[in-house]
A and B are shown apart, each in its own frame.
Chain A
Amino acid sequence: MTIMQSFSELMHQRQQRETVKRSRLVETETEVSKLDVNNLNFFYGEKQALFDVSMTVPERSVTAFIGPSGCGKSTFLRTLNRMNDIIEGTRLTGKVTLEGQDIYAPEVDVVALRKRVGMVFQKSTPFPKSIFDNVAYGPKIAGQRNQKELQGIVEQSLKRAALWDEVKDRMQDSALALSGGQQQRLCIARALATNPDVLLMDEPASALDPASTARIEDLIFELKQNYTIVIVTHNMQQAARISDWTAFFFQGYLIEKDRTQKLFTTPKKKQTEDYITGRFG
């Protein structure tokens, strides 16, 4: 079986799963765009990391970024909630808009932006606090003091992150006592608690075992009903399994972005084909 065929197989399985999982209509070609990026160039000091990247991220869908290490996919992801701002000596040109609003405009409040565009990292980063306090962190710094409200938010977020049943009896235990997969789902719950509409995920499952990875992937599948998800992944099978759209980055350029099914079965560019068939990277 060739690699192309195996991807086709994957797509097929996925479609079946998708129709089973929820009775949503087959996606139409015209989707509402959530994020629009135009002619983005990004620099670390003198070194240019992204070259003239333009793309749209449709609402309530999963967009995956694939590409070899150092291709700029994580950097690009981090421009979408301005996480690169905290790295010294970075600058960018071009435009990124969230629902039409330029997020790099001078009047934009970065803190407010990051509340709408949440992020989950490769390494799970639970704070050395209790499980409850981890999830309640976002609402608390946003000014939520009402204990009942907080409890409600925490419970709902943990349920959405499919972690509630495992931790509901030990909310006051340290988050560091959880397993790796649980910690990552806790971080997802924590990100959901700030009530974002976009969720950025930077290789969220790359440090996890296959079982935990499957749980996270299922979760992403569930979450896309309510959230716009952008995920960076090293794992092409993962991208094929969970994403609606896939973008292939190479050496700082966006080579190709298409519906996942198209990109994996009939890529337009030679580089994309070489990469997904494992000829390099």
Chain B
Amino acid sequence: MSVAQQSPSILVKNSGSLTRRFSWTRAREQVIRLVLFLCGALSLLTTAGIIAVLFNEAIYSFSGTAFFQTVSITDFLFDTVWAPQHPDKPRFGILPLLCGTFVIAGLGGIIGLPIGLASAIYLSEYAKPKMRRIVKPVLEILAGIPTVVYGYFALVFVTPYLLRPIFQTWLGISVDIFNAMSAGIVVGVMIIPTVCSLSEDALRAVPRGLREAGYALGSTKFDVSLKVVVPAALSGILASFLLAIARAIGETMAVTIAAGQQPRLTLNPFRGMETMTAYIVNISLGDTEAGSMEYKSLYAVALSLFVITLSMNVLAQWVLKRFREVYE
């Protein structure tokens, strides 16, 4: 058998017209392109749809009256009482909900951010590869626990076995069964994996040369970690903080269960509080009549929440871009 007979096509040069003709290959390409585009567009459309609904129910309604067409935005932002279900005089001051949200997110941040960063430094600078192989998956498990479990944990463990013995029995500070502190603690634990994982990426991205330069100047490992690597990775670390806080603000189930549902304007973390997310759960689970003020208030709160978390995310992006160090 001869080679020439087996593969004559190689010997024949490609010739023929260059004019486009229908081909199945090209048609398939077009279909794939369309499907991929639709998938991408879907998330965009969903976001746009959500914004449209929020706008329609809260700011300006095309079919009825929106929330802010009834309640003035000044009352909404500055009134100190949130009592949407009051039979005679409902009041819609979002401050108590904002307060609950920020007290809990703040407590969560105070607990979660330093621990998350410290564990990131440990993983990136100190841990042996073997240790990292064990710790990383465990942290991911922490991230995978359903938040409702965290809430329950706060209610049946943190409050009765941790907070009450320490603060109530020992220090004499009364601790409500539903309280912001227990919610803050579990939210803090919840954001550790976010902070740790993102910060660790930022720390590991710091070039090895910078570390070596640090060591060569007579630094201890701690000096190198804290004075060379962390400052060099600052933008990534700040971004991870902002994303974690955004997550803490948006957190719903755990805080609804742990902090309760009394909108209360206080900074005492041992009282029950209601967050914006908890209010939304509360109302959407109840038998609220569609079109009522209560129902519309849901959208006003959701809109506020959306604005807050969105600006946190935008801020995080900005920080990442603005403070990114160029090493090359």
Q: Which residues of A contact B (CB under 8 A)?
A: 81, 83, 86, 88, 111-112, 114-115, 118-119, 121, 123, 125, 127-129, 137-138, 141-142, 176, 187, 190-191, 194
Complex CA distance for A115 and B218, rounded to whole angstroms: 5
Q: Is B209 an interface residue (CB 8 A)?
A: yes
Pairs of residues from A and B, 5 with the lowest C-beta to C-beta distance, nearest first: A115-B218, A119-B216, A125-B213, A128-B325, A138-B217
> Assuming A121-B212, A176-B326, is B231 touching A128 (CB within 8 A)?
yes
Tell me whether B217 and A141 are in contact (CB under 8 A).
Answer: yes
Q: Which residues of A contact B231 (CB under 8 A)?
A: 127-129
User: B143 → chain A, closest Cβ, in Å?
Assistant: 28
Q: Is B47 an interface residue (CB 8 A)?
A: no
Contacts A127-B214, A127-B228, A128-B327 supplied; 5 other A-B pairs, CB < 8 Å? A81-B216, A83-B215, A111-B219, A114-B218, A141-B219
Tell me whether A141 and B223 are in contact (CB under 8 A).
Answer: yes
Tell me whether B215 and A191 are in contact (CB under 8 A).
Answer: no
Q: Which residues of B contact A119 (CB under 8 A)?
A: 212-213, 216
Tell me whether A127 and B218 are in contact (CB under 8 A).
Answer: no
User: B177 → chain A, closest Cβ, in Å?
Assistant: 49
Report which residue of A81, A121, A125 has the largest number of chain B beta carbons within 10 angstroms of its beta carbon.
A125
Q: Which residues of B contact A81 (CB under 8 A)?
A: 216
Tell me whether A83 and B232 are in contact (CB under 8 A).
Answer: no
How many inter-chain residue pairs (CB < 8 Å) link A and B?
A: 66
Complex CA distance for A119 and B214, rounded to whole angstroms: 10
> Assuming A128-B231, A176-B326, is B217 touching A190 (CB within 8 A)?
yes
Q: Which residues of B contact A142 (CB under 8 A)?
A: 218
Q: Which residues of A contact B212 (CB under 8 A)?
A: 83, 86, 119, 121, 125
Q: Which residues of A contact B219 (CB under 8 A)?
A: 111, 141
Q: Which residues of A contact B217 (CB under 8 A)?
A: 114-115, 118, 137-138, 141, 190-191, 194
Tell me whether B216 and A111 are in contact (CB under 8 A).
Answer: no
User: B213 → chain A, closest Cβ, in Å?
Assistant: 4
Residue of B nearest to A111 (CB): B218
Interface string of B292-328 (1 = CB under 8 A from A): 0000000000000000000000000000000001110
| A83 in complex: contacting residue of B128, B207, B216, B325, CB < 8 Å | B216
Complex CA distance for A267 and B228, rounded to whole angstroms: 44
Q: Which residues of B contact A112 (CB under 8 A)?
A: 218
Tell me whether A138 and B213 are in contact (CB under 8 A).
Answer: no
